[in-house]
């Protein structure tokens, strides 16, 4: 059974229950990072590939592998890094100190932390209920270890949404449109695997390409989007998704919610 911990967003005060993702060891046994209960979390503001992975030992065979560091996306738009328990430690003292380098300070609920802050206004967008006529099977993500994996994960997700024949723009084509990584009947997509949030210019260029081709434009980013980029995407009705390192896209604006709900 997956381990879970309560999480309080330091940006808006919202409370969540985070459930750890379970991975499969080479021996076939399930493995998951050990979460530190009660340790504080911090928003991810800058990404470094070296900091996005943690070593996890398989209890069944003793093998150690690198797996994506656990993260949680809050409705306010913050991406939260979940602190981890020290290897081999146990008990309340171990839970209070995480192996995550961003851990530190009073834990959520500690009197020293003060009262929880109320939500600072409404969330950037309110996720819509899924209204697809026929429910889709669960999406099976691809763990992202390289920029190439990020493009593959986005392609798998578009196909899961119902876009058929999605391919990379470099496959079977004599040229590659600037800023376009994936295309298929009815869709164009850009995948930004860098560690900087996507900008309004990137969103606008993608939208123009989609407008010229009379297709849906979809943006995927590992590091998220600037506030200006999200506002521009809302104006242009461009769906925005954030990719975590498990390869699971998360909708971050209304057009993306609508696309997930309705499908292709």
Nearest to 248 by CA among 138, 122, 108: 138
What whole-number distance in Å separates Cα of residue 160 and Cα of residue 263? 9
Q: pLDDT tens digit string along 59-107? A: 888 888 877 778 888 877 778 888 887 654 444 333 333 333 333 344 4
Would you say 52 and 102 are in contact if contact means Cβ atoms under 8 Å apart?
no
**What pLDDT does residue 40 have?**
82
* Rounded Cα gap, residues 248 and 251, in angstroms: 10
Closest alpha carbon to 139 in 157, 158, 165, 166: 157
User: What residue ranges define each of the domains in the chain, with the CATH number in brackets?
Assistant: 4-113 (no CATH), 147-262 (3.40.1350.10)
Instruction: Please enumerate in sequence order all residues whose Cβ is within 8 A of that of 240, keeping only pairs 6 or more positions apart, or say none.
Output: 198, 203, 219, 221, 225, 229, 230, 233, 251, 252, 253, 255, 256
Q: In angstroms, rounded to a whole number, what is the distance separating the alpha carbons of residues 30 and 74?
A: 27
- Tell me what percent of the residues of the chain surpass a pLDDT of 70: 73
Residue 192: the pLDDT is: 93
Residue 195 has pLDDT above 90, yes or no: no
Cβ atoms of 102 and 81 within 8 Å: the answer is: yes
d(CA 235, CA 207): 11
**Quick check: pTM over 0.75?**
no
Instruction: Identify whether the C-beta of residue 2 lies closer than 8 Å to the C-beta of residue 19.
Output: yes
């Amino acid at each position: 059974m997956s381990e879970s911990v309560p999480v309080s967003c330091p940006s808006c005060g919202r409370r969540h229950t985070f459930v750890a993702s379970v991975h499969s060891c080479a021996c076939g046994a399930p493995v998951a990072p050990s979460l530190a209960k009660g340790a504080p979390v911090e928003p991810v503001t800058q990404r470094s590939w070296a900091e996005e992975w943690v070593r996890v030992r398989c209890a069944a065979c003793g093998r150690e592998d690198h797996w994506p560091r656990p993260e949680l996306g809050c409705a306010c738009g913050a991406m939260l890094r979940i602190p981890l328990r020290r290897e081999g430690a146990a008990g309340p003292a171990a839970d209070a100190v995480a192996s995550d380098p961003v851990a530190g300070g009073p834990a959520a609920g500690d009197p020293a932390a003060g009262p929880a802050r109320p939500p600072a206004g409404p969330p950037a967008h309110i996720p819509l209920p899924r209204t697809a006529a026929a429910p889709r099977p669960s999406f099976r993500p691809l763990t992202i270890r390289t920029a190439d994996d990020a493009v593959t994960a986005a392609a798998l997700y578009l196909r899961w949404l119902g876009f058929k024949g999605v391919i990379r723009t470099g496959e079977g084509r004599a040229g590659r449109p600037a800023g376009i990584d994936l295309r298929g009947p009815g869709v164009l997509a850009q995948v930004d695997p860098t560690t900087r949030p996507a900008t309004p210019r990137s969103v606008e260029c993608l939208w123009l390409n989609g407008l010229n081709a009379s297709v849906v434009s979809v943006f995927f980013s590992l590091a998220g989007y600037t506030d200006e980029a999200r506002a521009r995407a809302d104006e242009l009705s461009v769906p925005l998704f954030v990719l975590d390192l498990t390869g699971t896209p998360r909708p971050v604006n209304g057009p993306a919610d609508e696309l997930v709900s309705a499908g292709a």
